[in-house]
Amino acid sequence: MAKNPEHRDLFPGALEIMILQSLKLKPMHGYALVKHIKQVSDDLLQVEEGSLYPALQRMLKEGWLEAQAGTSTKGRPTRIYRLTAAGIHHLESEVVSFERMFAGFARVLAAAKA
Amino acid sequence: MSRFSRFFFRNRRYDDISVSIQEHIDERVDELMEVGMSREVAERTARRDFGNVTLLRERSHEVWQWQRLESLLVDLKHVFRRLRRSPGFAITVVLTLAIGIGANTAVFSVLNSVLLRPLPYPEPEQLVSLHLNAPGAPGLAEFRKELRLSASMYLTFASHNRVFQSVGVWSSNTASITGLAEPEQVNTAMISSGILETLGVPALHGQWLTESDQDPHGLGRVMLSYGYWQRRFGGDPGVVGRTISVDSQPRVIAGVMPRGFKVVNYDFDLLVPAGLDPVKEHLAGFMYHGIARLRPGVAISQANADVAGLLNVWMDSWTNGAGSDPHWYLNWKITPALEPLKETVVGSIQTVLWVVMATIGVVMLIACTNVANLLLVRADGRQQELAVRSALGAGRWRIARGLLLESVTLGLLGGTAGVAVAYAGLRLLTTIGPGELPRLSEISLDGWSVAFTLVLSVLSGLFFGAIPVFRYVPSRQGPTLLGAMRTASVSRERQRGRNVLVVAQVAMALVLLIGAVLMIRTFLAMRNVDPGFSDPASLQVMRLSIPETLVHDSMPVVRIQNSILDKLAAIGGVSSTGFVASVPMSGAEPSWDEILIEGKQNESDNAPMRLYNYVSPGYFHTAGTRFVAGRDFTWAEIYNVRPIGILSESLARELWGSPQAAIGKRFHEFSGQPWHEVVGVVQDVRENGVDQVSPATVYWPSLMNDVTASDKLGVWRTMYFAIRSNRAGRQDFINEMQQAVWSVNSNLPVAEVSTMQDIYSGSMARTSFTLVMLAIAGTMAFALGILGIYGVISYAVSQRTREIGIRMALGAKKSELVWMFVRSALVLTGVGTAIGLGAAAALMQLMRTLLFGISPLDPVTFLAVPVALVAAAVLASYLPALRTSAVDPVEALRAE
C-alpha cells in the first residue's frame, strides 16, 4: 500500500463520518466515494482503499448503510451504498460530538499560543 | 438480520465485496489510461496503489465473521482429521476416559443424591433429630449409640420448649390390614401430632392428621403413603373418607401423602396416630425417634441447652409407677445431642461414599496419566511438524491451543460416552446397592451430575493435554528443529516425563490395592465370625402379628402361634420350627431392661441394661444356636407359665462365672415379679450384625405374668417364625407357608418373608458394597499401572534400538540388555511403591471405621501387595525388554 507521507492517519470515526456525510448528498459506489472525498477536501484528505472497504462493511453491519446492486458511472456492475435512517441519526449525533471536540481542540491550541 | 442468519448469508456478502473491489480497480485503470498510460502499466499501477486485494477482501470479510469461533472451528476440523487418521489411539483414549469419567459421574451422582442434595422437606436446614446420649446406662450404651425418647419426654418437650417451632415423635411399626383383599401386613409409622407440621410436606389429597386424631379414646384416622395408595387403591383420589380396617379397628383415611415422602428415612405404607395418653404415660418406654424444627435463628447448641433443662422437668413430672424413684434416671447421665436431620439420614454411609469417591477419583487420575502418556508419544511424532510450524511463525499460543483443543476434544468425547457408562452404572447400583444406602430411590443423573461430568471432562482434557504442551511447545528462544532428531540427550529428557507419570501411577495403584485387600480381609474376618446361628440359607423367616383387636386374651395367642408352628412343621421338607420376638440382624429390638439376681444385693442403682428376647421351644434348635449348658423350654412349661429363662453365654459368665454355674440360679425383672430359674445357656448371638458386639441377652418364655398387672398374662404378639427347610426361599414353599398360616386364621397377614441368608448378607451389605467398589477400582488401577510400565519400557526399547545395536556390536550379552530395561522398570516401581506405601499408611486411617478385625496397617497386606505389584512390573517390563534380543545390530546401525 503506497503510503503518502503528506497524508496523516485519520482519527477513529473520521472516515465513517466522511462516508456518511458524502452519502447524505446521494448514494454512491466505492470509487465515487474516494473521488468525492478527495475533491471536496481539495486533495487534503485521501481515503485509502485498504480502509474504505472494511469500513463500509462495518457500517453495513451496523445498519447505517445499505448496499444495492447498481452500475458505476462507467456502466459496470457494482454496489451502490445508500444512507439509512439509522445512518442519518448516527451522523447527526456524531457531528454534534465532533463539533464539540473541535471546539475544545481549538481552545486548547489557542491557549497554547497565548 | 440476526447473527445466525448472517452466518449463512455471508457468501452473498463476500460476492458483493468482490464485485465492489473489482469495479473500483477497473475504474482506476480507466482513469489512468485516460491520462495516457498503457493498459498494462495502468493495471499494474492500480493494483499497486490499491494494495493487497486478498488481504483487503479478508479484512472486509472479517467484519461479518465471529472470528475467534471460526478459527477455532478450523482448528477443530484439524483435530478431528488427525483423530480420524489414528482411530486406534482415539478409541483407546475415549474408552479409557469413558470408563474413568463414567465411574466418577456415577459415584458423584450417588454422593450428590445422598449427601449433598438437601432433604426433600421445606427449609430442611431447620430440621433436627432429637438424639439423646445415655453414657450411664450400661449395656445399652455399648449396644446402641443413642437413647430414644419416651412418650413422656415428648409430651414434656412439646409443651415446655422455647426453641422449636414444632416437635414430634415417631416409631416404626406394622399393622394388619384386613377386609381389602388378602390380609396384609403393612409398615406403619406411628406418629405423634407435630410430626407432619415439623416435616412440613403438604398432603397430596385430603389433609394431615390433626391433634384430635391423637385422642387415645377417639377413633383416630390414618394417612396413606403414595406407594400404598397406588398399590392398593390404584391411585383413586376418592379414597379420602373411606374406612379401612387397621389391626381389626376401623379407621377413616384422612389423606394421601405425595410421592417420595418419607418419615426421615423410613418408607411407610400408613401413618397411624400414636395416640399418646398423658394420663397413662410413664417415664420409661424409650421407643420413639424425635424430630423438631428449630425456630429461625436458634442454633443447635441453644436447643441442646434447652432440652437439657427440660430433662429435669421431665423427671419431676412423671413416674414409673408408685414407689419408684423418678430421679433414678440421673444415673443414666442423659444428655441431649441434637444433630441436623440430614446427619441422621445419611449417617454411617458418609465414610463409605467419600472413600469410594476418592478411590474412583484416583482411578481417574491414573487414567489421565495413561492418556497423557499416549499423548506424549503422539506429540513425539509431531515434534518435527510443531517445530516447523513454530519456525514459520505460528505463535506458541496457537500451537498450544491446537494441542489443548485436541485433548479437550478427547476429554469431551470421553465424557459423552462416560454419561452412558454412568447411566448404566447407576442402574446397576440401584439394583445391587446396599439396602441401607439411604435415599437410594432418590439417586439420579441430574443437572449437577451432568455439570460435574462436563467440568471433569474439560479439566481432565486440560490436565493430560498440558503435559505434552509444556514438553513440546517450542520456547520463544528458538525452535528445536535440530533437537527433534533422535539424540540421546533429548530422548532421556523426554523419557523423564513419562517416568514421573509411571511412578505416580504405581503409587496410586498401590494405595487402591491396599484398600481393596484390606476390605477383602475385613469381609473374610466377618465371614469367620460365628453369628450365633448356622446355615442361614436354609432358614426361612417370616413375621406374623396377632393384634389384640383380633385375639384379645394372651393364652389363645400362644395357642394360635403354636398351632401355626405345627402346621408349618407338617409342610414337606421342614425339619424344625420355632418363633422369636426378634431375629438377629433384623433391627427389631423387643425391649431392654435390667434384671435383678436372687441373693445379690442390687449394689448400685445403675444395673446394666440387658436385651430382652422372647422365644418358643424349638427356636434355638431351628436357628442353629448352640446350647452351651442346660436345655430348651418345653411347651408344657410355656402353657403353665413356669417362671424360667435362658441366658446368653456372656451374660451367664458375667453373673455366675460359667454357663454351668448359671443353671438353676434365679433372676427376675422387677421386685414383686416371680423369680425365673435359668434352665439353659445359649451361645452369644450377633444381634446387630457380625461386626457388632453381642449384647447380653435374656430369653424369656413368650408367655409370662404381665409386668404391670400380676393377675394378667403378658404375651408377645409380633413374632418372627423360623422354619428350617432345604426348600427355604422357594416360591412354592412360601405359598405353602402362607396357606398353613391361613388354615389357622385367615385374617393373619404374613410379612417380611426372607431367608436368614438375605438378612445376614444384608447386614454385611455396606462392607461388601465397599469391597466391590474398591476391588473394581483397585483392579482398574492395577491394570492401568502395569500397562503404563509396559508402555514406558517398550517405548524405551524402541527409542534405543540404535544404542542396543551398538552395545550388541560391542559384545554386550542379551541377558545384560534385558536386565538393563527390567532394572529401570524396577527402579520406577520401587520409587512408586515407596511413595504409595507412605500414602497408604496415612490414607488407610480414614478407612478405619470400615474395617473389622484388621488393622489399617495390616502387615500382611502392606507386604503382599507391594510384592505382587513389583512382580507384575518385572513381568510387564520383561516382555518388551525381550524384544532387544530381536534387534539385529547391523540393521539397527544401518537404519540411521
pLDDT tens digits for range B106-118: 888 888 888 888 8
- Grid cell, residue B746, equals 385367615
Q: B184-191 and B222-224 as β-strands: parallel, antiparallel, unpaired?
A: unpaired
Provide the shortest C-alpha distance from residue A64 to chain B (in Å).
Answer: 13
pLDDT at B548: 81
Give CA–CA dist B361/B355, Å, rounded: 10
- Single out the residue of B681, B633, B632, B620 nearest to residue B655, CA to CA: B681
User: At B614, which helix (H) or strand (E)?
Assistant: strand B610-615
* B60/A54 touch (CB, cutoff 8 Å), yes or no: yes
Taking only Cα atoms into account, the Rg of chain A, rounded to an integer number of angstroms, comes to: 16
pLDDT at B622: 96
When scoring B6, B27, B67 by the number of chain A Cβ atoms within 10 A, the one with the most, hence best to mutate, is B27
| Better pLDDT: B405 or B483 | B405
End-to-end CA distance of chain A: 41
Report chain A residues whose CB lies below 8 A from the CB of B17. 53, 57
- With a CB cutoff of 8 Å and minimum separation 6, the contacts of B292 are B127, B128, B130, B157, B161, B164, B165, B166, B167, B168, B198, B303, B338
Residue B523 has pLDDT above 70, yes or no: yes
Report chain A residues whose CB lies below 8 A from the CB of B24. 29-31, 34, 49, 78
- Grid cell, residue B512, equals 487402591
- Give the Cβ contact number of residue B594 at 10 Å: 18
Give me the torsion for CA of B32, B33, B34, B36, rounded to 10°: 100
Helix (H, G, I), strand (E, B) or coil at B283: coil
Of B17, B27, B28, the CB nearest to A57: B17
pLDDT at B486: 46
- Which region among B170-184, B401-415, B563-577 has the lowest average model confidence (pLDDT)? B170-184
pLDDT tens digits for range B800-815: 777 888 888 888 888 8
Scan for cell 463500509, then name that residue.
A56
Decide if B577 contacts B208 (C-beta within 8 A).
no
* B27/A57 touch (CB, cutoff 8 Å), yes or no: no
Q: Which residues of B lie closer than 8 Å to A, measured between beta carbons?
A: 13, 16-17, 19-21, 23-24, 26-28, 30, 48-52, 56-57, 59-64
- Single out the residue of B637, B611, B629 nearest to residue B680, CA to CA: B629
Helix (H, G, I), strand (E, B) or coil at B593: strand
| The three-state (H, E, C) secondary structure of B704-748, written as one string | EECCCCCCCEEECCEEEEEEEECCCCCHHHHHHHHHHHHHHCCCC
Report chain A residues whose CB lies below 8 A from the CB of B9. none
- Grid cell, residue B727, equals 426348600
Decide if B631 contacts B679 (C-beta within 8 A).
yes
pLDDT at B356: 84
Residue A5 has pLDDT above 70, yes or no: no
Give CA–CA dist B756/B762, Å, rounded: 10
* A78/B20 touch (CB, cutoff 8 Å), yes or no: yes
pLDDT at B603: 53
Give CA–CA dist B864/B811, Å, rounded: 39
* B51/A48 touch (CB, cutoff 8 Å), yes or no: yes
Give CA–CA dist A28/A33, Å, rounded: 6
Count, residues in chain B = 896
Residue type, A56: L
- Grid cell, residue B82, equals 488427525
Residue B403 has pLDDT above 50, yes or no: yes
What average pLDDT score do residues B264-282 get? 87
Report chain A residues whose CB lies below 8 A from the CB of B27. 31, 72-74, 76
- Full DSSP string of B395-420: -HHHHHHHHHHHHHHHHHHHHHHHHH
| Better pLDDT: B319 or B583 | B583
- Single out the residue of B512, B234, B784, B23 nearest to residue A49, CA to CA: B23
pLDDT at B121: 92
Q: What percent of chain B has pLDDT over 70?
A: 91
Give, in order, the Cα–Cα distances in Å from B548 to each of B247, B545, B553, B581, B700: 8, 10, 8, 16, 21
Confidence of residue B421 (pLDDT cuts 50, 70, 90): confident
Residue B35 has pLDDT above 70, yes or no: yes
Give CA–CA dist B800/A4, Å, rounded: 62
Considering Cα of B844, then B365, then B452, then B442, what sign does the dihedral take?
A: negative
Decide if B509 contacts B784 (C-beta within 8 A).
yes
pLDDT at B434: 63
pLDDT at B488: 42
- What stretches of B631-701 adopt beta strand conformation (E)? 644-648, 666-668, 676-682, 697-701
Report chain A residues whose CB lies below 8 A from the CB of B64. 57, 61
Provide the shortest C-alpha distance from residue B26 to chain A (in Å).
Answer: 9
pLDDT tens digits for range B835-887: 999 999 998 888 888 888 889 999 999 999 999 999 988 888 888 888 777 77
Give CA–CA dist B838/B538, Å, rounded: 46
**Which residues between 18 and 47 in chain A have a beta carbon less than 8 angstroms from any beta carbon of chain B?**
29-31, 34
pLDDT at B1: 45
Confidence of residue A1 (pLDDT cuts 50, 70, 90): very low
Neighbour-count burial of B45, counting CB atoms closer than 10 A to its CB (0-12 exposed, 13-18 middle, 19+ buried): middle
Of A58, A73, A78, the CB nearest to B63: A58
Give CA–CA dist B687/B139, Å, rounded: 13
Maximum average pLDDT range among A53-67, B160-174, B599-613: B160-174
Q: B249-256 and B222-224 as β-strands: parallel, antiparallel, unpaired?
A: parallel
- Single out the residue of B794, B781, B773, B771 nearest to residue B865, CA to CA: B781
* B52/A1 touch (CB, cutoff 8 Å), yes or no: yes
| The three-state (H, E, C) secondary structure of B594-611, written as one string | CCEECCCCCCCCCCCCEE
Of B23, B50, B64, the CB nearest to A29: B23
Report chain B residues whose CB lies below 8 A from the CB of A53. 17, 20-21, 56-57, 59-60
- Grid cell, residue B765, equals 451389605
pLDDT tens digits for range B767-811: 888 888 888 888 888 888 888 788 777 777 777 777 888 888 888
Confidence of residue B42 (pLDDT cuts 50, 70, 90): confident
Q: Angle at the Cα of A20 (from A77 to A34), degrees rounded to 5?
A: 50
Confidence of residue B709 (pLDDT cuts 50, 70, 90): low
| Better pLDDT: A2 or B357 | B357
pLDDT tens digits for range B178-220: 877 777 888 899 999 899 999 999 999 999 998 888 887 777 8
Q: Angle at the Cα of B456 (from B451 to B458), degrees rounded to 5?
A: 100
Q: Angle at the Cα of B194 (from B190 to B197), degrees rounded to 5?
A: 115
Q: Angle at the Cα of B355 (from B349 to B357), degrees rounded to 5?
A: 100
pLDDT at B99: 84
**DSSP letter assigned to residue B194:** T
Of A1, A2, A57, the CB nearest to B60: A57
| Better pLDDT: B422 or A1 | B422
Decide if B168 contacts B188 (C-beta within 8 A).
no
Q: Please give the mean pLDDT across all residues of chain B.
A: 84
pTM of the model: 0.69
Residue B267 has pLDDT above 80, yes or no: yes
When scoring A76, A81, A82, A84 by the number of chain B Cβ atoms within 10 A, the one with the most, hence best to mutate, is A76
Give CA–CA dist B305/B335, Å, rounded: 9
Q: Please give the mean pLDDT across all residues of chain A.
A: 82
Report chain B residues whose CB lies below 8 A from the CB of A77. 19, 23
Give me the torsion for CA of A96, A102, A103, A108, rounded to 10°: 150
**Which residues between 58 and 97 in chain A have a beta carbon less than 8 angstroms from any beta carbon of chain B?**
58, 60-61, 67, 72-74, 76-79
Residue type, A64: W
Q: B697-701 and B610-615 as β-strands: parallel, antiparallel, unpaired?
A: parallel
Of A34, A54, A77, the CB nearest to B59: A54
pLDDT tens digits for range B66-106: 656 667 787 788 888 888 888 878 888 888 888 888 888 88
Q: What percent of chain B has pLDDT over 90?
A: 33
Nearest CA in chain A to B3: A61
Residue A50 has pLDDT above 80, yes or no: no
| Better pLDDT: B401 or B437 | B401
Residue B477 has pLDDT above 60, yes or no: no
Residue B170 has pLDDT above 90, yes or no: yes
- Single out the residue of B527, B559, B570, B616 nearest to residue B725, CA to CA: B570
* B63/A57 touch (CB, cutoff 8 Å), yes or no: yes
Give CA–CA dist B156/B164, Å, rounded: 13
pLDDT at B301: 93
What average pLDDT score do residues B573-593 get? 87
Report chain B residues whose CB lies below 8 A from the CB of A48. 51
Considering Cα of B535, then B536, then B537, then B541, what sign does the dihedral take?
A: positive
Scan for cell 471432562, then name that residue.
B457
* A72/B27 touch (CB, cutoff 8 Å), yes or no: yes
Give CA–CA dist B74/B401, Å, rounded: 12
What average pLDDT score do residues A9-35 get? 84
pLDDT at B8: 54
Instruction: Please list, residue by residue across B309-335, b when 16 or more beta carbons sit within 10 angstroms of its beta carbon and e when fewer do.
Output: ebbeebbebbebeeeeeeeebeebebb
